[in-house]
Structures are given as structure tokens and as C-alpha cells.
């Protein structure tokens, strides 16, 4: 569902708009709840993007109140802020340099949020033992003795969320047909079955795709019970796996510092949560696709890409394909950032 709204430029005072000022004016309006994420021009229209859909009243507030009162005074070039927003909402400003085409920001776009540390590792965490960095080594020896190809799969977890920044692959005796793939997947949520007693806080509702989404039962008469109080290790609840809802219409919220950590939205009929819970394993991202083992090098192509945030509930799945008869040895180093490295 699109959360973009087009407004004719002619509707603004004098047919002019200051995009940065309009962005601030919208987010300062208490009658418009969804956060305005961007303002831009598309032909003769001003396109305003929101993190959630606007109600009819909010759209009226935007068109009949914000737009007519818009201050389109141009912002002096030397006062335009240059900043990058971190994951926690904080902004980091950067120095500017003069050039032939005006001022240019000096910055490195790969920003690790405040409080995070670089964590280069060749091993997962020991989740069961609650030990950082003491899990399985990210390495294989794969042997094919009869009929190739053969796949070896290694699955691991970290106890706390990490940002994956890149990595390195090294292989011995690799063939041109050998490769490794890294995928991130969300395990299925396994709520407590309360069928028959009807005293759970959730129900399963079919998605139409062959699996179900867990929806809160506000009256406490559900067939399933979601208990977000069991944090077995780090930020992980072993039985419940939150999957982000990027539209802001999820049925649940997750906060690793709260107890319970997973809580239902106030009104399931108008969900405004950040996460959903599903009863099926879901693939989320493929970070590296059939990376050839004969070419030793980085898993990610450039170091300036913003890190991908991986929640602790999710599994890192490495698949090693050996395409010929014989033995190949592979080792991987992950470049990440995390808050807890000990």
C-alpha cells in the first residue's frame, strides 16, 4: 500500500515550496500522526511520503491547513543542515567544503550508531550457554565422494541484534562450481496452544498464502497464548520471532528492554505495531548469493553501504555447494557492529 500523497504545486502559496520546511511543518502538526519521511517534486506535483497511511481527517489537515500556511521562504545555502540519521533517530552532522558547484559534505556514509562497536568474528554466539562469540565456527569441510553436487548448511545466531557490514571468504581446494550463499530467515513463532480452554491472548488468522499471522485477542478468549516475558538469552525469546512490519500496521510491538518484551497493539482492528508474528519460517534477506569460492574476497561489494540490522531471533543460514568430487574447506569472517562484544 502506497503512503505517498501528491499535491499540485499550484496549491501552495505563490506556487512555491520549500521542501525542507514543509517536511518540518508536517511533522510538527499534532493532527497528523504518521511520520513524514520525505518530501520531493514529481513534475508539477509535490509528493509527500509517510511511514503510514493518512486517515481522511489527516489528509484534510495536510491539504487544507498545512499547505495554505506553508512558509516557502528559501533556505540560505550556507545554513542547510547536512546530517545522516542513525538507527536510534539521532543525527550526525558533517563539515562542509567549498567547491565549484557549491558546498559539499565531507562524510563516510557507513555510520555505526552510538554505543555500537565493530565486531569482526568467525563464530556465532552460544545462545544456549548465553556466551558471546563462543558458538559454532563459521567454517566447513565439505566432501563429495560419489555424485556431485552436495550442499552443506550451517545455521547460527547471535544473542543480540547486530549490524552486518561485510565479510571475507577463504577457501582451499575450491572448484569453479563451488559457492556459498548467506540468507537471513525468521523461524516460525510457536505460541502456547490454548485450544479448548479459549483463554489465550491471540488467534491465528490465515494470510491466504498457506500460513497464519497471530492476531491479538483483546477479550482473552483466543486459541493461542503469546508470552513475551521469557527472554532466555540476550534479546531472544526462543518461541516467538517478531518480523518487522514496514508499513507500521503490525499487530505486535517488541522491546528487548521491557518485560514482557512482545506486547499486542491496543486495537487489532486498527493495528499500528512495528512487528508481526507468523507460524511459518520466513526468508527475510539474501546477503550473499552464490558467492564463488575460487575468488577469495569480500562478501559485500563495498564498505560504504549502511549496515543491515539483524535481530537476534533471526537465523543466519550459510549454504555451501560443492560441485565436484573431492574435499573443499571454507572459512568465513563476518564484519559486524554490536553493543555487546563480551
| pLDDT tens string 182-204 | 999 999 999 999 998 989 999 99
Cβ neighbours of residue 218 under 8 Å, at least 6 residues apart? Answer: 264, 267, 268
Per-residue pLDDT, 301: 45
CA distance 240 to 227: 8
Neighbours of 94 (CB within 10 A): 16
Cα separations in angstroms, 154 against 23, 109, 138, 151, 327: 46, 32, 8, 10, 17
Please list, residue by residue across 31-44, b when 16 or more beta carbons sit within 10 angstroms of its beta carbon and e when fewer do.
ebebebeebeeeee
The predicted pLDDT at position 77 comes to: 57
State the Cα–Cα distance between residues 195 and 182, nearest whole angstrom: 38
pLDDT tens, 218-250?
Answer: 999 999 999 988 888 888 888 999 999 989 899
* Mean of pLDDT over the chain: 85
Q: Which domains does the chain have, with CATH numbers?
A: 4-105 (no CATH), 117-187+282-338 (2.60.120.230)
pLDDT for 85 equals: 57
- pLDDT of amino acid 94: 56
Q: What was the pLDDT predicted at 300?
A: 47
pLDDT above 90 for 11: yes
pLDDT in the model for residue 189:
95
Q: What number is the average pLDDT over the span 300-323?
A: 78
pLDDT of residue 39: 86
What pLDDT does 100 receive?
60
Please state, in angstroms and rounded to a whole number, the distance separating the CA atoms of residues 4 and 47: 6
Residues 316-332 have pLDDT tens digits of: 999 999 888 988 889 99
- Amino acid 70: pLDDT: 93
pLDDT at 308 over 90: no
Tell me the Cα Rg of the chain: 25
User: How far is it between the farthest Cα atoms of the chain?
Assistant: 77
pLDDT value of residue 102: 57
> What confidence tens digit (pLDDT) does each residue in 132-189 have?
999 999 998 888 888 888 888 999 999 999 988 888 888 888 888 999 999 999 999 9
Q: What is the structure's pLDDT at 315?
A: 94
pLDDT reported for residue 198: 84
CA–CA separation, 101 and 116 (whole Å): 36
Query: Of 145, 141, 123, 120, nearest to 132 (Cα)?
Result: 123
Regarding predicted confidence, which is higher, 296 or 241? 241
Predicted local distance difference test score (pLDDT) of residue 103: 60
User: Cβ contacts of residue 123 below 8 Å, gap of 6+?
Assistant: 133, 134, 135, 136, 137, 138
Tell me what pLDDT residue 187 has: 94
Closest CA to 63 of 15, 14, 2, 6: 6
- Asked if residues 253 and 275 have their Cβ atoms less than 8 Å apart, the reply is yes
Cβ atoms within 10 A of the Cβ of 294, count?
12
For 267-291, write each residue's pLDDT tens digit.
999 999 999 999 999 998 888 899 8
Band (302; pLDDT cuts 50, 70, 90): very low
For residues 336 and 119, the answer to whether their CB atoms sit within 8 Å is: yes
Q: Report the pLDDT value the prediction gives residue 306, as an integer from 0 to 100.
A: 61
Query: What does the pLDDT read at residue 277?
Result: 96
Residue in the block written with cell 557492529: 337
Tens of pLDDT along 59-117? 999 999 999 999 988 876 555 555 555 555 555 555 566 666 656 655 555 567 778 88
pTM: 0.66
pLDDT at 185: 93
User: What's the pLDDT score for residue 246?
Assistant: 86
Amino acid at each position: 500500500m502506497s503512503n505517498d500523497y501528491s499535491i499540485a504545486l499550484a496549491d501552495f502559496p505563490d506556487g512555491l515550496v520549500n521542501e525542507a520546511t514543509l517536511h518540518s511543518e508536517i511533522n510538527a502538526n499534532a493532527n497528523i500522526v504518521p511520520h513524514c519521511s520525505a518530501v520531493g517534486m514529481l513534475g508539477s506535483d509535490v509528493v509527500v511520503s509517510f511511514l503510514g497511511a493518512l486517515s481522511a481527517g489527516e489528509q484534510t489537515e495536510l491539504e487544507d491547513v498545512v499547505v495554505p500556511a506553508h512558509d516557502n521562504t528559501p533556505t540560505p545555502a550556507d545554513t542547510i543542515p547536512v546530517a545522516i540519521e542513525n538507527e536510534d533517530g539521532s543525527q550526525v552532522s558533517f563539515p562542509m567544503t567549498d567547491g565549484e558547484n557549491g558546498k559539499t559534505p565531507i562524510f563516510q556514509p557507513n555510520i555505526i550508531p552510538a554505543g555500537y562497536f565493530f565486531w569482526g568474528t568467525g563464530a556465532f554466539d552460544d545462545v544456549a550457554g548465553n556466551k558471546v562469540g563462543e558458538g559454532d565456527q563459521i567454517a566447513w569441510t565439505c566432501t563429495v565422494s560419489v555424485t556431485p553436487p552436495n550442499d552443506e548448511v550451517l545455521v547460527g545466531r547471535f544473542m543480540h541484534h547486530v549490524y552486518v557490514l561485510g565479510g571475507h571468504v577463504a577457501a582451499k581446494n575450491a572448484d569453479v562450481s563451488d559457492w556459498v550463499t548467506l540468507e537471513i530467515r525468521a523461524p516460525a513463532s510457536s505460541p502456547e496452544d490454548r485450544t479448548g480452554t479459549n483463554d489465550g491472548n491471540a488467534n491465528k488468522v490465515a494470510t491466504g498464502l498457506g500460513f497464519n499471522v497471530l492476531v491479538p485477542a483483546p477479550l482473552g478468549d483466543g486459541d493461542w497464548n503469546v508470552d513475551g516475558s521469557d527472554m532466555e538469552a540476550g534479546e531472544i525469546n526462543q518461541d516467538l520471532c517478531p518480523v518487522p512490519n514496514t508499513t507500521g500496521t503490525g499487530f505486535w510491538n517488541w522491546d528487548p528492554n521491557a518485560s514482557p518484551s512482545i506486547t499486542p497493539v491496543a486495537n487489532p482492528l486498527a493495528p499500528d505495531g512495528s512487528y508481526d508474528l507468523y507460524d511459518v519460517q520466513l526468508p527475510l534477506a539474501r546477503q550473499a548469493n552464490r558467492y564463488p569460492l575460487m575468488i577469495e574476497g569480500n562478501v559485500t561489494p563495498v564498505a560504504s553501504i549502511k549496515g543491515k540490522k539483524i535481530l537476534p531471533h533471526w537465523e543466519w543460514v550459510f549454504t555451501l555447494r560443492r560441485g565436484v568430487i573431492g574435499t573443499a574447506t571454507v572459512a568465513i569472517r563476518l564484519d559486524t557492529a554490536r553493543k555487546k562484544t563480551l
